[in-house]
Chains A and B, each alone.
Chain A
Amino acid sequence: MNWEFISKYLPLYEKAAWLTLKLGLLGIVLATLVGLLCAAVRYYRIPVLEGIVRIYIEISRNTPLLIQLFFIYYGLPKIGIRTDPASCGVAGLAFLGGSYMAEAFRSGLESVDPIQSETAYALGMSRSQALRFIILPQAAAVSVPAYMANVIFLLKETSVFSAVSLMDLMFTAKDLIGLYYKTTESLAMLVGFYLIILLPVSALGNVLERRLRYAGFGA
């Protein structure tokens, strides 16, 4: 292990990690919004929109992010839709993640027995009151583990960002390997930085899941 090399190029990785994290989080926030919207459309069975959402979910879940990015970055400009690498990465992550988030939210909503809302109606609650006080709190608790799994999944997926020439961690590692042949050091830093990003998120997911299971409601 060449420590001099590591300390020299550490700042480069640090910069790349921030980029990964920044674009990743932005993509996750957008994916969450897309997911909420799609889950609501499917839960309330809104005509026409429901069909569109279904098609979107199938397409998004059955194609790889890398291909989605290539299409957005290299294909779309030919019909006049141009994006810079950063927005392309975020858009791709939102397109991919939206469908995964939608499924996480939908399974949460559907896990609440319809008789719970009927009970709320029988107590005189309106639809929105039943949703706010009875359905959403229960659905959210069920969705959390799947949501956290999706967050980790999407953060990992950012590793293909270098394909649209974003200078992320993979890009940096590949660059250094190609330039200096310091493979071990470059790979060690790559693994290290991904662990720094992903381990806390994974630990948070575990804590939340355990909390919800024990402090949770059970039947």
Chain B
Amino acid sequence: MPDLGLEVLFKGKNLARLLGGLWTALRISLLSVAISLPLGVLLGVLMTRNNRFVKALLQFYLNFIRIMPQMVLLFIVYFGSTRAFGWDISGEAASVIVFTLWGTAEMSDLVRGALISIPRHQYESAEALGMSKSQTSLYIIIPQAVRRLIPLSINLVTRMIKTTSLILMIGVVEVLKVSQQIIEANRMSSPNAAFGVYLSVFLLYFFACWPISLLAGRLEKKWS
């Protein structure tokens, strides 16, 4: 059995530290999700309204956010805001801002897509039954849109969790940082620690995202 550097995980508090690192990343993504989802719903609904100015503004926001790599957005907020406004925001705050901006853009697009995917005659037949606009929305449109939306927004959650790995690059302590520290500290006693530690990190991310993806897939199949 070659030395895979797995034993280092069970030394001292290393495993707990790794999990703690993952928790930091998870906390950042959950916080961003919690803000993004309602904001995204709001913007998504606004985008289906016929206000030209609002539409153009949202379109610009959406397009810019979606075409830029999240790393670039992270750099802009983390480095740029210090420079432009003299704020000294923490890496954690910068990440929450960026992931919220990004998550809101993605979510609003999902909401808009779900709303316009509902065929016209659904509105028409509801009106033909004498329903008011708000009754039509409440009983006919929203329930259908929500069914389309839920699997997609669950998928968005996994994408946000995966994206939080990027915050290593601006120095927020989380999984990768912790693993580098562990590897560094055990360089002498277990030279192969890098394999075991990075494999664990890999698996930790996988087991954080996989169940959520499975859930999304199952709901999608059930409701399509």
Contacts and interface: CB of A to CB of B under 8 A. Distances in A.
Contacts of B68: 156, 191, 194, 198
> Looking at chain A's contact residues, is the secondary structure mostly helix, strand, loop, or mixed?
helix
Task: Indicate the member of A66, A77, A174, A191 with the most B CB atoms within 10 Å.
Answer: A66
Interface of B is mostly: helix
Interface of A: 58-59, 61-64, 66-68, 70-71, 74-79, 152, 156-160, 162-163, 170, 173-174, 177, 183-184, 186-187, 190-191, 194-195, 198-199, 202
Nearest to B193: A78
B79 A177 contact: yes
B202 A63 contact: yes
Interface stretch (B11-19, B116-124, B160-168): B160-168
Contact of A67 (B72, B80, B202): B202
Given A70-B201, A160-B71, A194-B67, 18 more contacts: A61-B213, A62-B206, A63-B202, A67-B205, A70-B198, A75-B195, A75-B197, A75-B199, A78-B191, A79-B195, A156-B67, A156-B68, A160-B166, A162-B169, A170-B72, A170-B169, A177-B79, A191-B72
Contacts of A158: 69
Nearest to B170: A174
How many of chain B's residues touch chain A, expressed as a range?
Answer: 35 or more
A190 B82 contact: no
Interface of B: 2, 4-5, 67-72, 75-76, 79-80, 82-84, 158, 162-163, 165-166, 168-169, 176, 183, 191-192, 194-195, 197-199, 201-202, 205-206, 209-210, 213
